[in-house]
Chains A and B, each alone.
Chain A
Amino acid sequence: MSTPIKKLVTAIGTSIAVMGAGHAAAEIKIGIAGPMTGPVAQYGDMQFSGARMAIERINADGGVDGEMLEAVEVDDVCDPKQAVTVANRLVNEGVRYVVGHLCSSSTQPASDIYEDEGILMITPASTSPDITERGYELVFRTIGLDSMQGPVAGKHLISLEPERVAVVHDKQQYGEGIATSVRDTLEDAGVEVAMFEGITAGDKDFSSLITKLKQADVDYVYYGGYHPELGLILRQARSADLDAVFMGPEGVGNKDINTIAGDAAEGLLVTLPPSFDEKEENQDLVKAFEEKDEDPSGPFVLTSYSAVQLIAEGIEAAGSTDPFDVAEALREGTFQTPIGTVEYDSKGDMESFEFVVYEWHSDGSKTPVN
């Protein structure tokens, strides 16, 4: 490298460092990492809108111990490679707290970087149990785990006093995991699981499976997987006159299932996080979203809001901005957030996260089942 260029680079480097230092003194940077573009950008919008609102409201109340919060937003496209790139960018920007990422497959590689660099991360959306299984100190979430959903679904099925239940899954990590825990819950309660079988994700023809379900004479079918396959199963089951009730996890509770299954989606049971925006104590917050013309009803809006709030309250409780102290404070304390009372276990998972059973309707709406 020739000397003038070298000088220039050094100059730029120094000035960036100085600028960075100048900001850090007055503000606490919060990285918000999630998909702004790509196939799941609609979920990313929920995340950004919730986190921005929290930062705005906290700053309006005078910030955290007098210091203002500043958002640093990055786009990971729900792509693991991109997630690593943006995680490194957040490290370079001097961010010490991250709300993100959204997709489990992005959260996992990014969390490695955050843990190494001493950055505290709270994911508002990733449900894969693996993320908190690695003994990391700085990884938290404001959402439940896949493994919490299975027992909820299983217990609901048991309460319906079924004679025979079939459990079907798509042989993928998410679907088979939930299906296995549903099966175990049912068997522990002495309910007969007539069938436990996998299908191939991407398949279109389920006539053989449906014939088998008819032969087994089941009254309930639990499906672990996503909406494209369940939509087809529902539709083909209806045209084959199978009169069993179907149930699925939050991966099927999506309006796209209505375009595929049509009227056959009526009466489907789905476990979902509760609608936090309908809670009495959140009505002020809901109004604030509506004034900004934003929709607080998406599943990840208030989980993101709560993630920012937890970071702020964690800093206050710890009396320090060191992420390790804040992590310690989060594990010890009890916090009131829009998603309810939050207490963390040693892994960084919430002690309890509620899943609610909803009945799905053919127009894409849902009603809670008691």
Chain B
Amino acid sequence: MQDFLYFLQQLINGLTIGSTYALIAIGYTMVYGIIGMINFAHGEIYMIGAYTALIAITGLAALGIAWLPLVLIVALICAMIVSSSMGWAVERVAYRPVRGKHRLIPLISAIGMSIFLQNYVHLAQGSRNVGFPDLIEGGFRFGAADSFQTSISYMQITIFITTLVCMTVLSLFISRSRIGRACRAVSQDLGMANLLGIDTNRIISATFVIGAALAAVAGLLLGMYYGSIDPLFGFIAGLKAFTAAVLGGIGSIPGAMLGGLILGVAESMTSGYLSGEYKDVVSFGLLILILLFKPTGLLGKPEVEKI
């Protein structure tokens, strides 16, 4: 029983972290699916989302507003607006002028953008860790009170539910709405979609905006879950999310979700049963193994041959 509760706890830990990887990974995978480039500045957009949310929460607290749902919604909306405009601006400034050039050029432009944004936040917000207030406290516990208890906090539940809602809305949006249909068309054949009268520039901008908005959601959730943020934390999370996207099959939205969850669970099981030192070894080893046997990732389509 003890062992099972321990396993359950590590599984919950892994799924929590995995679902936020999935939220960030969506941004990588959508952009890759549509224009075939890797947006390395995406991790920074996520970090900026977290900072904006923190500024909004602090601002509201200074105004004396403490009603939790209102605080969260205002913080979320602020973060999404700022991140989305950032995502849009990054595409407009750094990627559109070099679109259609050799594939290395947008990649380098993206890395440059990532360094620029990181250092901008360093300058504007300082390089120290800043703490997030504890907004959602408490949780459920299972197991006998005198031995190991499995706990699931309200914060973890919030993360699961929010991720689930975001993923469902996104899937419906892509499969049902007009812009979603245009997105799918552009991802199948950009030139042809253009000929058929789809404003591809608008669709590409929309992709960046959607990806950035989801990253902002992840930024707020993870900022609250971990408790502190710094200008570099987008880089590491971005790397993990990118790995999740590749693991699941880059370009595929369900793949990003699956990849995120697998990576999160693999990490927590490794640190739970082996040692925290091997966490990254196992998760990246897993990536290499999957790419060896299935080079397109778990759910990737084999015919992806773009650019």
Taking Cβ atoms with an 8 Å cutoff, the residues of A that contact B are: 39, 171, 197-200, 202-205, 207-209, 211-212, 214-215, 217, 228, 231-232, 235-236, 239-241, 256, 259-262
Contact = CB atoms under 8 A, between A and B. Distances in A.
B129 A231 contact: yes
A265 to B, nearest CB: 10
Interface in B222-252: 222, 225-228, 230, 232-233, 236-237
Interface in B86-123: none
A74 B261 CA distance: 52
B59 interface: no
B178 interface: no
Contacts of A241: 141, 149, 151
Contacts of A256: 128-129
B276 interface: yes
Given A207-B268, A209-B271, A231-B129, A197 B228 contact: no
Given A171-B277, A212-B272, A232-B227, A202 B131 contact: no
B44 interface: no
B272 A236 contact: no
A18 to B, nearest CB: 45
B127 A239 contact: no
Sort chain B's interface into a size bin.
35 or more
A211 B16 contact: no
B276 A204 contact: no
Contact of A208 (B13, B129, B133, B236): B13
30 contacts: A197-B275, A198-B275, A199-B277, A200-B276, A200-B277, A202-B232, A204-B226, A204-B228, A205-B13, A205-B17, A205-B225, A207-B16, A207-B268, A208-B268, A211-B13, A212-B271, A212-B272, A214-B149, A215-B6, A215-B148, A232-B228, A235-B227, A236-B227, A239-B139, A240-B151, A241-B141, A259-B131, A260-B129, A262-B133, A262-B134
Interface string B265-281: 00110011001110110
A209 B130 contact: no
Contacts of A39: 127
Contacts of B236: 202-204
A275 B280 CA distance: 41
B176 to A, nearest CB: 35
Given A197-B277, A259-B131, 10 more contacts: A200-B280, A202-B232, A205-B226, A208-B271, A209-B271, A211-B10, A212-B272, A235-B228, A240-B153, A259-B128
B131 A211 contact: no
B275 A260 contact: no
Nearest to B20: A205
Given A207-B13, A208-B13, A232-B228, A262 B131 contact: yes
Contacts of A232: 226-228
A207 B227 contact: no
B129 A228 contact: yes
Contacts of A214: 148-149
A208 B268 CA distance: 5
A244 B232 CA distance: 30
A255 to B, nearest CB: 10
Contacts of B129: 228, 231, 256, 259-260
B9 interface: yes
A260 B131 contact: yes
A199 B268 CA distance: 12
B303 interface: no
Contacts of A198: 275-277
Contacts of A200: 276-277, 279-280
B305 interface: no
A211 B272 contact: yes
A197 B268 contact: no
Contacts of A208: 10, 13-14, 267-268, 271-272, 276, 279
Interface in B255-300: 267-268, 271-272, 275-277, 279-280
Nearest to B138: A239
B227 A199 contact: no
B233 to A, nearest CB: 6
Contacts of A239: 134, 137, 139, 153, 155
A286 B281 CA distance: 52
A354 B137 CA distance: 41
A86 to B, nearest CB: 23
Contacts of B13: 205, 207-208, 211
B269 to A, nearest CB: 8
A209 B14 CA distance: 12
Nearest to A241: B151
Contacts of B226: 204-205, 232, 236
Contacts of A209: 271, 276
Contacts of A231: 129, 131, 227-228
Nearest to B235: A202
Of A197, A202, A204, A235, most buried by chain B (CB within 10 Å of CB) is: A204
Q: Which 8 residue pairs spanning A and B have beta carbons closest together?
A: A208-B271, A207-B13, A235-B227, A204-B226, A260-B228, A259-B131, A208-B268, A198-B277
Contacts of A212: 271-272
Interface in B183-237: 222, 225-228, 230, 232-233, 236-237
Nearest to B137: A239
Contacts of B139: 239
B272 A260 contact: no
A201 to B, nearest CB: 11
